[in-house]
Structures are given as structure tokens and as C-alpha cells.
Amino acid sequence: MLLSVVIVNYNVKSYLEQCLRSVCQSKGLTLGKDFEIYVVDNHSVDDSVEMVREKFPQVKLIANKENTGFSKANNQALRQSEAKYVLLLNPDTLIEADTLRKCLDFMESHPDAGGLGVKMIDGQGRYLKESKRGLPTPETSFYKICGLCKLFPRSKRLAAYYMGHLDPDQTHPVEILSGAFMMMRMECLKKTGFLDETFFMYGEDIDLSYRILLAGYRNYYFPATRIIHYKGESTKKGSLNYVMVFYKAMEIFAEKYFSKGKYKLYIHIIRIAIWLRAALSVLGRVLKKILLPVLDLGISYLILAFLSFAWPALSRDNAFFYPEIYRQAILPLYAALFVAGNFAWKAYRIPISFKRTAAGFLSGMAAFLLLGALLGSDWQFSRFMAVAGGFFCLGTACLFRLGLGKFFRKSFPLSTRFRRHYLVVGSKEEFLRVSHILNQEGVAGDRIHRLSPADAPGSLIEQTEVNRIGQVIFCSKDLNFGQIVQLMGLLRKTGAESKIIAQDSDVRVGYKF
């Protein structure tokens, strides 16, 4: 056997299906003769195992009874493989039809290559800088942790973590490969050993890449082929668990290789920096969670307080002046009801939904008016003021959300649900098939539009804007990998989601917030 492809899966059934389809459709290689596929499932609860058994009977499935971690799961398959080369591949990836053939040809022509990585792009067609990385020495790690790597992305020294000085469109020897796509020579692995099972998840690719170098081989970055990596879909990157596991992996690697001699003191500093960065990451996620509620509470109170002064003054009627108790108790209560309404309507979820936001504020307004009706006349707030203030607060909240969505789109993306139309880029045959799938999901036929692949480069943006398209579905039967990537890049200007659907599949995968 020439190649063993090893995919470790954990609760990403839809991505796994598309990944397997892209691998099975590789050109120039025959599944079962030239290459084999192992899927190691870490006790998924989303029917991944059943899907593989039903749709991909030719795949060698290892179904674990518990989540053993990334390293142990990969090693289970590696121990069974007798192939000349192995490929560790994430389930949330899509490869080009000739990716495997090109990579194998490169490995065959470069006997010094122990490992090989490719150019990775995300679900919107953007280059992922972790496609090539440098060894995270204490110095390199320090520049990464303190942010200098990001400030000077092309510096050979300060951006060594991502080897930013190297052209991403040229083949280069590099130090560290990404575990999302890591092709290796089995002869090399027998010298280095398999993945270090001390790493539960993250860091094992860095460790193995370094051991490949120590064994006298080279790691290569090979951009002659690309893969889409829906970064983060196979892990919950927003969770506290991710932050702790990721930074713990960095600490394990640093302690393993740089904890002696001249690095001993330096590594203690790095360890402190790692945990400080982890704490800041957790704090950032907490602040992201509370930012909108705090903004709604504070801004709503300020608007209501301003109106409580402005309205009586404009009316020139002293009877409309409110005692201080309104600003101390009644107005904060009104603002709190807005926040409570938003929580009730789940308006603080990402992506931001203006529909849910409006429902939350209107619910708070209704609750306040009902409460006012139950109070005595001495405590009643002007209904006109309450309604006017409520709409002012709603409008201001929407403006703030619009600003956050425009300037901080990655952290606070705006929902495209108000753009409920779909655009299918593909042949008439695929359009009818996809339309049937959407109809079964409750999408009306008049909200599904078609664009032929030939017209897509020139008309995609116009069609998306004119028809209020919220989701564009690319049919991989009618578009090759390069065409899809090019069109996804255009979509970034529109805010519409991009999805890919494979032939004979009813599963759509793609970028999502």
C-alpha cells in the first residue's frame, strides 16, 4: 500500500462526510489498491459511526468507546498501517482532486522529506498562516505570546512562529507542520516514533515535526496544492476547555525540550507568560459575553435619564418633572427589563440578530408599561415617554450592533437571516436536487435562485445583493476546487455565507460564525 489516510473524528459528522468524499474522489489513485482510509471515531454522539458504515463501507473504521484524544486515536491507525506514507488529515477539511497525487510525487522525488504540509485556506478563501510554522523556541514563543509576531508579520525573527518571511506561494523547507494535513514517510516515523500521547490535543504536531528534524529529515511546505480547512469546526475554540488544553500543550512542549541548561530560567518566564495569556483569553471571552448586555443596560439608562430631563423641559410644564426616585429606581428597572427581554429572546447569541434584538426591547417595553399600569398614579411614568424612550433605546442598540458588526466582524458578526434567499451555483440538474433539499427544510421555492458556473465570476456579487442572498451553495459536481475558492473570496465582500455540497450528498458544509 502506498498511502494510509488517517482521520480522527469527534462529533463533526457533516464535515467528515464531505472530507471523505473529497478523499475518495482523488485522481490518479485507486482506493483499496493505492491508498486506504482509516477513520478513528472518538466516541461521537452525532451518528458519525453509522454514517461511515452506511456511506463509506470501504473505509477502515475504528470506533472508540471513549474520547481517547487526538494522539492516541491517530496512533491506533498508525500501528495498523503498512503503507509507505501516511497522512494525518482533519475531518473539517476538503482536499483537491489531485492533492494526494501531487504530494506523493513530491515525497517520491525528495527522499530527504520526512513530512509535508500544504497551503491551507479557510472557508472564505483566506490563507491560513499556520500552514507553515517555525519551532516554538522560548524566544519565538515569547514574540508570539506578547503579540510582536502579529505586529511584524513578515519579520524573520519576530514572526518566526509563522515563518512570515517566507513566500506562502513558494515551496520551502520549514520546521513545523500542521496536524490538519501532515503527510509523512513511514520509514521516518519508525525512527521518530508515533505521536506523543502525553498531548491530548494540540501540540502533538509540533512535537512530531521537531522529532522529524532531529531524526535528520526535512519538513516541507508545499503550496502547489491547497486544502480548505474549516478551522475550529472539529474543536470548540471558544470554550474554556480549548483555551486550557491549548496552552497546556504549549507548556508540555516547552518543558520537554527547553527546560534545562540556559533555558531553565527562561522557560519559567515562558510558563508564566503562557498561563497569563490563557487567563487573558478566558477574560476576553467573558468580556465578549457581557459586552452587549452591559452596553444595553448603560446606554438605555443614559437615554432614558436624558429624556426624563429633556421632555419636561420641552413641554414647559412643571407637572412633567420627575422626582429623583425615577432616575434611581424606575429608569434602571426599565433598562434592566430591556436586557431581560433580550436574554429571553436569545438576542445576545452570535451572530447578532436585529430581529431578536427588536423582540427583546419591545418585550421589555411591554413589561414596563404593564408594571406601570399596576402602580399607583404617583408612581406612573409617562406612557409616551416610556414608548418614545423604548424606541430610542432600540434604535441606539441597533446602531451599536451595526458598528460592532462592521468593525469587529470576526467577534460580532451580523446575522444574514434577514436575507432569507439562497443562491445555488451549479447546473440545472444540481439546482433541482438542491432545491428539493431546501424545500424539505421549509424553504419556499421563490427564495431559491440559480446561477450557472459560467456566469458566476461576473455576476455573483450582483446576484447576491439584488436577490438578498444569505447563503450561496456551490455544487462541487459542476465547479472545481479552484473555482469554488475564487468565488468564496468574492463572497467576503457581500457578507453572505458560503456552503459546498457534493454530488449525491444532502449535506452542506461551509464557513459559519
Domain ranges in the chain? 3-132+168-234, 287-407, 421-510
Strands 218-229 and 35-41: unpaired
Amino acid at 272: I
Peptide bond connecting 351 to the previous residue in cis, omega within 30 degrees of 0: yes
How confident is residue 319, by pLDDT bands cut at 50, 70 and 90? very low
Distance, in Å, from the CA atom of 8 to the CA atom of 86, rounded to the nearest integer, reads: 13
Q: What is the CATH topology of the domain spanning 3-132+168-234?
A: Spore Coat Polysaccharide Biosynthesis Protein SpsA; Chain A (3.90.550)
The pLDDT of residue 216 is 96
Distance, in Å, from the CA atom of 32 to the CA atom of 53, rounded to the nearest integer, reads: 16
Does the pLDDT value for residue 375 go beyond 80? no
How confident is residue 320, by pLDDT bands cut at 50, 70 and 90? very low
Amino acid at 156: K
The pLDDT of residue 420 is 80
Distance, in Å, from the CA atom of 173 to the CA atom of 132, rounded to the nearest integer, reads: 9
Percent of the residues in the chain that have a pLDDT greater than 90, as a whole number: 64
The pLDDT of residue 416 is 64
- DSSP symbols for 363-386: HHHHHHHHHHHHS-TTTPPPHHHH
Does the pLDDT value for residue 49 go beyond 90? yes
42, 9 in Cβ contact below 8 A? yes
How confident is residue 305, by pLDDT bands cut at 50, 70 and 90? confident
Find the farthest-apart pair of alpha carbons in the chain and give their distance in angstroms, rounded: 91
Residues in the chain, how many? Answer: 513
pTM: 0.79
Q: Which range (49-58, 63-72, 231-240, 454-463) has the least confidence?
A: 231-240
Does the pLDDT value for residue 41 go beyond 60? yes
For residue 134, give the nearest of 177, 181, 188, 194 by alpha carbon: 177
Q: What is the CATH topology of the domain spanning 421-510?
A: Rossmann fold (3.40.50)
Distance, in Å, from the CA atom of 176 to the CA atom of 136, rounded to the nearest integer, reads: 9
pLDDT tens, position by position, 111-144: 999 999 999 999 888 899 999 999 988 888 888 8
Cell numbers at 39, concatenated: 477513520
112, 499 in Cβ contact below 8 A? no
Q: Which range (87-96, 449-458, 461-470) has the least confidence?
A: 461-470
Question: Which residues have CB under 8 Å from 352's CB, separation 6+?
Answer: 292, 401, 404, 405, 412, 413, 414, 415
CB atoms within 10 A of CB 354: 18
